[in-house]
Amino acid sequence: MRLRRYEGNPILKPKPENEWESETVFNPAVVYDRGLFHLLYRAMGIDGISRIGYAVSTDGFNFFRFDKPVFTPKLILEPRGCEDPRIVKIEDRFFMTYTAYSVRGVRIGLATTANFIEWERYEIEWAERDDKDAVLFPEKIDGKYVLLHRPMHKEPPGIWISYSDNLADWYGHREIMGPGEEGSWDSKKIGAGAQPIRTEKGWLLIYHGVDEDHVYRLGAAIFRLDDPSELLYRYPEPILEPETYYEMRGEVPRVVFACGACEVGDKYYVYYGGADRVVCVATIDKEELLGKCISISTC
């Protein structure tokens, strides 16, 4: 089971004429809403500070791109940048989680919008500051907001879950999936990638895994619908790994890193950064991907 790269990759490249995105554009989030693919991506210019850009498409491959960032760092909260966005729609609002980078380290950032231009930030009350790879589930579960994330001080680095009633106070923190066995493709660390997608078999999560040689690959897992802390299935092999020139060579070589995926028709579209320099997309048939867990009795 492998994702199929779009033959026109990369779909977004750095734009030298725009200072804020002149060096790299990567790690894109996506949400499909009312016939449009809304893409948020991390961009860096010559100042080395990450900002969030926005692009929109009708077909998922050809994007119209805004010339100015739609989300920029706040001096006090994240003076070193806003990194790796993930986006979901809950009811009538879009919610973006991102990594807020300050002089004290990194923390989870959260903001909401109705139009991708005007944003309102939430201040998350979090016991641990060094945390990242955060993504919300696209609906409340048992009346609660649910978040996946990765505390950086925990060993080995795995995927954790937390719950909230108000998006500010979070509780119930615990690990739900750890790295793979020694020598495997995801043995060093893993983290949540794209937002979870509801399927008839459970919540589909596209995640990233890193091996001892620091190669970043993508994997797939299924969690229980009414209790997403319960792992039902974990595909043993990567579904995408660095192979092309734009994944092997860049700011950080040998990296495919997904922050967004969506279901459109009978396909899943997975958006990812190639070697921390460009934005790419790959697809897979729903039947092909979900068929791999058909023998799991709890699915």
- Residue by residue, pLDDT tens for the chain (299 residues) are 899 999 999 999 999 999 999 999 999 999 999 999 999 999 999 999 999 999 999 999 999 999 999 999 998 889 999 999 999 999 999 999 999 998 888 999 999 999 999 999 987 766 556 899 999 999 999 999 999 999 988 888 999 999 999 998 999 999 999 999 999 999 999 999 999 999 999 999 999 999 999 999 999 999 999 999 999 999 999 999 999 999 999 999 999 999 999 999 999 999 999 999 999 999 999 999 988 654 443 43
Q: How far is CA 111 from CA 90, 96, 290, in A?
A: 13, 5, 32
- What SS3 class is residue 84? strand
Tell me the pTM: 0.96
Q: How far is residue 126's CA from residue 184's CA, in Å, rounded to a whole number?
A: 32
What are the residue boundaries of the structural domains of the chain, listed by start? 9-293
- What SS3 class is residue 19? helix
44 contacts 56 by C-beta, under 8 angstroms: no
Q: How far is CA 125 from CA 15, 160, 164, 169, in A?
A: 37, 16, 10, 5
In this structure, whether the domain defined by 9-293 belongs to CATH 2.115.10.20 is answered with yes
Torsion-angle region of residue 81: left (phi > 0), alpha (psi -120 to 50) or beta?
left
Q: How far is CA 96 from CA 120, 122, 160, 195, in A?
A: 10, 10, 18, 10
Among 9, 28, 24, smallest CA distance to 258 is for 28
Q: How far is CA 16 from CA 22, 68, 97, 110, 232, in A?
A: 4, 13, 27, 29, 45
Ordered DSSP codes for 22-42: SSEEEEEEEEEETTEEEEEEE
